[in-house]
Structure 1
Amino acid sequence: MYSKRSIALVLAGLAVGTCMATVGAANAQTPAQVPAQARALPAGWQLVTLPNANVPNFQRRTLYCPGAKRVLGGGAEAQGNRAILVGSFPTGDGRGWIGIGRQDGYNDVGISVFAICAD
């Protein structure tokens, strides 16, 4: 499972790639000269988060992308003593991300959900 820090570092790397692509455009570089990471960055991408909240075991927490954006990827985190992430997957319509967890010995669990959305 990736931590918030890992996700932030990946996204920071993508942002650097975007800056490089912008500089490349100003210098009239050909597409082959622009780093592959920058070429792969989709238009209008955005990291969306659903902060931690305690919910009953096995209850879904669903995060939707804003507006007409679609989810490209995502994840979830289960928090608490003996917390277990049971599921982390996109919604059926591709507009969001779902996280499900449980916590042994407790009736509820803390769940956070993250999604990378784009136009």
Structure 2
Amino acid sequence: MPKQSAHFLFADKTEIEDLGNGLKRQMLGYNEELMAVKVWFDKGAEGYVHKHRHSQVTYVEEGEFHFNIGGTIRVLKPGDSCLIPPNVEHGAVCPTGGILIDTFSPAREDFVSE
């Protein structure tokens, strides 16, 4: 993984990666210790249940999300956020379409290629 992103990233010049299944991702900045990512969900799109070693905080910018964290499901709306501890299974379904801002510590190495 490159050690860090550029200091300034501009939305109209930063790649938006199509992840398939109604999900897109754009890097907002990272170094080895911290990463922020913007994620678009089409209506009905699902972030599959998974787990990873990273701490994660997610902020709902737009839309409604049904978050499953460790088997507990809650509905989050714009302005809401959640904390996902390391190695806890989690996922989300977005019935409306929406946007999340995900932050990870340390950075997700699997999101960045050399």
Higher strand residue share = 2
TM-score normalised per structure 2:
0.32
> Higher helix fraction: Structure 1 or Structure 2?
1
Higher Rg of the two aligned structures? 1
**Structure 1 length-normalised TM:** 0.31
